[in-house]
Amino acid sequence: MEDPPSGNDAAYFRPLGPGDAALLADLYADCFEDPRPWDAQAMADLMAMPGAFGFVVYADESPQGYLMARLVVPEAEVISLAIEPSARRGGLARSLLQLMIRQVEAVGGARIFLEVAETNEAARGLYDSLAFREVGRRPGYYHGKNDEKVTALVMAHNIHPTNS
């Protein structure tokens, strides 16, 4: 288990494992209003990609969220980050991202990418506060309520901003 990066004394983190696909699919379904949610097989396929890693965060002995990523040095990508709605705004997503940043930095990674729905102001605020900056846009990337098309913002975080 990992210690929380900052301010989450009641939370604990563990690396994703091969048996987590169903758990991740359940969390995904709870956390996103996706008309095409990822099932356990999709999660297993994502975790089987070269360089895939991530963490599950627990509070009060129950899973509250996860971060799944992929690392191909020098770049990493957040594949999915989800926090149970009842646990949001408690710092868990921030802690997961900080844990990822430390891990990517420890193996020589230089940059982390992610996509976020243009309409997701809470997530965008979190990413901005962690020095992720918009580097691109993908119109119609997400399917929102009633299958509406939502633009994804591509954001990047430089591990060592002065060297990038």
Catalytic residues: 115, 127
Do residues 2 and 55 touch, judged by C-beta distance below 8 A? yes
- Structural element, H or E, at residue 141: strand 132-143
Tokens for 54, please give them. Answer: 């991530």
Query: What is the chain's percent helix, strand, coil content, to nearest 5?
Result: 35, 40, 30
- The tally of CA atoms less than 13 A away on the side-chain side of residue 152 is 12
Q: Are 116 and 130 in contact (CB under 8 A)?
A: no
